[in-house]
Amino acid sequence: MPQDGAFTIAADGADEGKRLDLVVASHLPGCSRSFAANLILAENVRVDGDPKKPGYRVRAGNLIHGHVPAPEPLEFKPEPIPLDILFEDEHLVVINKAPGLVVHPAPGHYSGTLVNALLYHCPDLEGIGGKLRPGIVHRLDKDTSGTLVVAKTAAAHEYLAKQFKARKIQKEYLALVFGEFDSEKGTISLPIGRHPADRKRMSTFSRKHREAETKWEIYERFKGLTLLTIHLKTGRTHQIRVHCAAINHPVVGDPVYRPRKLMKNIAKDFSGIPASIVDTLQSIKRQMLHAWQLGFTHPKTGEKMVFEAPMPEDMAEFLDKLRDHNLG
C-alpha cells in the first residue's frame, strides 16, 4: 500500500483507454486496484483538475493528481483478558499463548488480542517496539499455542529482536502430523514465499522466496499419526505447516495446508482405527501445533533461560485418547 503523500501521473500512450483505477494502481508501488478505486471515489484523485469515476477511460496527455491520506491512528484499548504467565520481571514477560488468541491487532481483530491483554496487564507497554505491536518481538499464528516472550522495556525489545535476527533463539515445537515415518529424524530444506495464486497462503513453489530449514524428530508414534518435536533454524511465516505439508505429512487440523483429498478419504485411510478417533480427527478445527519450548538470553542479566509451556487441553486430550486405544 502506498505511503501518505501527493503524487502526479502524466498519462502517455501506454495508458490510453485504460480505466483510471488501473492506471493509478499501475503507477503507485504497492497499490491495489481496489485501493486506487477508493481513492478515486473519495475524490482524492483528479484528472486535469476534475474528479472522475474509477471507470473513466484515461487519455494520453491527461495529468492525474492525487493524494494518499495518512492512515488514521488506531488506539488499542487495554482489555482484562486472562493470561497464562510462565515468567515475568521488570524487563519481559513470557506467556503460554492459548490457541485461538490473535497476537496483535489487525483488520478484523482490533480487540480481544494478546496486545489488548498485555496493555491491561502492563500499562507501561504502549509504544515499546511501535504503536501497532507494543512489546511484541515475535508472533505465533492465531491457532498455534505455546511460549511467547514480550518485551516490557525498549532496551529489552531491542536486545531480544537482535537475538531473533541472529537466530540465537531456541524454538522447539510439538506437532501432531498425519502419516508415519521410516526414520527417527530429518531436515526439511525448502524455500518459502507467498503462494503464486493465493496471497493468504505460503508455498515452497513461490517465485520470490527465502531459505527455510526445519529439523524434526520423532517424539511419539501412533497408527497413521506421528507426534514430532520440531526445531526451527529459520522463522518464516507458517514454516512448520508449509514444510510438513510439503513432505506429505500435514499438521492434523490444519484448515489451510492439509489436502482436501486427505479429509475426504480419512474414514477409508483410518479404517482399522476406532470410529471415535476418526470422528475426532474430522472434527478438529485448528492445527495441532504447540510452541513447546523457548530459550533466549535475558537482556539484562545475560542468563540463558529456557521456558516450557504445557500442552493445551484439546491437544493433550486427543493424544491421551490415542494412547488409551493403544494406537502407539
Q: Which residues are the active-site residues? A: 141
The DSSP secondary-structure symbol of 76 reads P
Answer yes or no: are the C-beta atoms of 222 and 272 closer than 8 Å. Answer: no
CA Rg value for the chain: 24
Quickly tell me which residue has 499501475 as its cell: 26
Quickly tell me which residue has 480419512 as its cell: 266
**105: how many CB neighbours lie within 10 A of its CB?**
19
Answer yes or no: are the C-beta atoms of 321 and 283 closer than 8 Å. Answer: no
C-alpha of 13 from chain center: 42
How far apart are alpha carbons 61 and 15 in whole angstroms?
Answer: 9
Phi first, then psi: what are they for 226, rounded to 5°? Answer: -145, 135
Answer yes or no: are the C-beta atoms of 119 and 126 closer than 8 Å. Answer: yes
Answer yes or no: are the C-beta atoms of 155 and 162 closer than 8 Å. Answer: no
Of 305, 301, 304, nearest in space to 155 by CA: 301
How far apart are alpha carbons 300 and 89 in whole angstroms?
Answer: 11
**250: how many CB neighbours lie within 10 A of its CB?**
23
Phi first, then psi: what are they for 108, rounded to 5°? Answer: 95, -15
